[in-house]
Structure 1
C-alpha cells in the first residue's frame, strides 16, 4: 500500500484540526504539500498570458516577479490603436472586470484582473507568498505603494507636465519614500535576508517596492524638453532603500531582464 497519500490526508486532517488556533501548523502542512513557502502556496498555475500595454506602467512589477520566479508568459503588447477593440472584447468575455488592464489568463484556467491581486496570486505559485504572520503587513506596504503610485500617475499623465512640475512632485514624494526608508532592512544581509518581511526572504511585496523605487528613479532621469538641470538623485538620501534597490537589481533573473531588449524602455506619455 502506498503510504504517501495516507500520510498527506493525515497531515491535512491535523491542519484542519489546528486551523482556528495554530496558523503556523497550516502553513507548515501547505509547505510540505507544495514545496513552497508562504501562508497560502499554490501548485503551478501553468503558462500565463499577460494582458497589458507595450510599456512598464502598472504591469512592470508583475513582469519582474514572473521573470524572477520562472513563470512562463506571453504578452499582448496593446497600443492606443489596438486597445479599444481589445477592451470591448475583454468586457464581453468578463476578463477585464473593470474594463482595464493588467489582467492575466493561465493555462490552468485562472482569469484575474487588478495589478496587486495578480501580483499576490502569482506569488503563491512561485514561492514568494508572505508568511501568515506577515500577511497584513505585506498588504500595508503594498497599498502604500499603490497610494503614492496613483499620485505619481496624475503628475506623469497631466497634459501640462513640465520640468518644474516634475521637480515639485519628486520633492513632495520624498516624504512618502522616507516612510519606506524607516521600514527598509538595515545592515549587511545574510544570503537569504535583507528584504521587507520578518521572515527575511523575498516576497511579492519586495517586487512592488522595487518597482515603485525604479519608476521614480526613471521618472527623475528621463530627458524632458528644455530641462538642462542634472537628474534628481533622490535615492542618495535613502541609504537603506538604496542598498535594497541594488541588492534586488542584482538578483540573476532580475538583472538579466533589466538588461534585456524585452524590457520596455521608460518613456513619458505622448501628449495628444
Structure 2
C-alpha cells in the first residue's frame, strides 16, 4: 500500500507539473532537513514525497535502483534531478543567491559546509552504531567539535550575523540543522558557546523559518529513524 501511494505521488509530481520543487526522502529529518529549512526560509514551494523505510529496504520501490548512488534524498527542479544532500544545498544556494557575493566568500561558505558535514558524519556514527556505548564520551568531546564554529562566528561582525558575510547562506541552514540535532542530544551543549546559542535563536526566529520549525509536518518527523519524539 505504501509503495502504491509513493508512486502515485511521484507520478502526480511529474504529470501535473507541480510548482516549486520536489524532495523525495524518508519520513525523518535526516539529510533532507537542511534543504527544507532553506526552502521554507526562502518562501519556496516544496512537495515532500515520503518513502517508508520498509518499502525502501524491501525493494518494493524502484527509487533505490534508479538513484545515482543508491541513496536519498532525491531532488527535482522541474526536469532537473539531483542527488546528494550537499550538492542539493549548493545548487539551491547558487540559485537563490545564498552562496556568497564573491569567490572568497563562496569558498568560506563551502569550508563551513564541509565542517558541518564532518560533524554530521560523527553524529550519524553515534546514533546508528554507538549510541548505547558512546553517548557519554561523544557529549564529553562535543565542545571540541563546536568550538571551530564559535570561532568562525566570532570572526564575522563579532558573531552577530551569519557564518560568512552579511547575508544568510546555504551553510547557515546546514549548521542550524546540525545544532538542532545536538541540542536534542544534549540540551545544554551550547551553554559554553554564547555566539552559537544566540545564532541558533536568531535564525530560528526568522519569520518563515520560525513558522516551519513550529509546523506539524516538521515536528512529526524524528531526526533519524533512531530518534523518537
Q: Which residue of 2 aligns with 1:153?
A: 124
> Which of 166, 170, 184 is matched with 1:204 structurally?
170
Q: Which residue of 2 aligns with 1:183?
A: 152
CA distance in 1, matches of 2:112, 2:21: 26
CA distance in 2, matches of 1:166, 1:237: 19
CA distance in 2, matches of 1:202, 1:135: 12
Q: How far 1:173 moved relative to its partner?
A: 2.1
Q: Which residue of 2 aligns with 1:105?
A: 76
CA distance in 2, matches of 1:120, 1:149: 17
**Unaligned residue ranges in structure 1 (runs of 5+):** 1-45, 222-232
Q: Which residue of 2 aligns with 1:237?
A: 192
Q: Report 1:26-175 matches (<5 A).
A: 47-84=20-57, 85=59, 88-92=62-66, 96-107=67-78, 109-132=79-102, 133-158=104-129, 161-162=131-132, 165-175=134-144
Q: How far 1:266 moved relative to its partner?
A: 3.1
Q: How far 1:188 moved relative to its partner?
A: 7.6
Q: Deviations over 1:183-216 (max 9, x none)?
A: 1145484xxxx01113x11111111111111111
Q: Which residue of 2 aligns with 1:255?
A: 210
Instruction: Report which of the two has the higher share of helix.
Output: 2
Give yes or no for the alignment of 1:269 onto 2:228. Answer: no
The TM-score normalised by the length of structure 1 is 0.69
Q: Give the number of equivalent residue pairs.
A: 204
Q: How far 1:267 moved relative to its partner?
A: 5.2
CA distance in 1, matches of 2:73, 2:139: 26
CA distance in 2, matches of 1:248, 1:197: 14
CA distance in 1, matches of 2:73, 2:63: 15
The TM-score normalised by the length of structure 2 is 0.82
CA distance in 2, matches of 1:188, 1:161: 32
CA contact under 8 A between 1:71 and 1:126: conserved in structure 2? no
Q: Please give the root-mean-square deviation of Cα atoms over the aligned residues, in Å.
A: 2.1
Q: How far 1:265 moved relative to its partner?
A: 3.8
Query: Max radius of gyration: which structure?
Result: 1
The answer to which structure, 1 or 2, has the higher relative contact order (CA under 8 A, 6+ apart) is 2
Q: How far 1:180 moved relative to its partner?
A: 0.6
Which secondary structure state, in structure 2, belongs to the residue aligned with residue 76 of structure 1?
strand
CA distance in 1, matches of 2:173, 2:121: 17
User: Given the superposition, is the C-alpha separation of residues 48 and 250 from structure 1 closer, same or farther in structure 2, using an over 3 Å criterion?
Assistant: same
Which secondary structure state, in structure 2, belongs to the residue aligned with residue 104 of structure 1?
strand
**Unaligned residue ranges in structure 2 (runs of 5+):** 1-18
CA contact under 8 A between 2:28 and 2:224: conserved in structure 1? no
CA contact under 8 A between 2:98 and 2:168: conserved in structure 1? yes
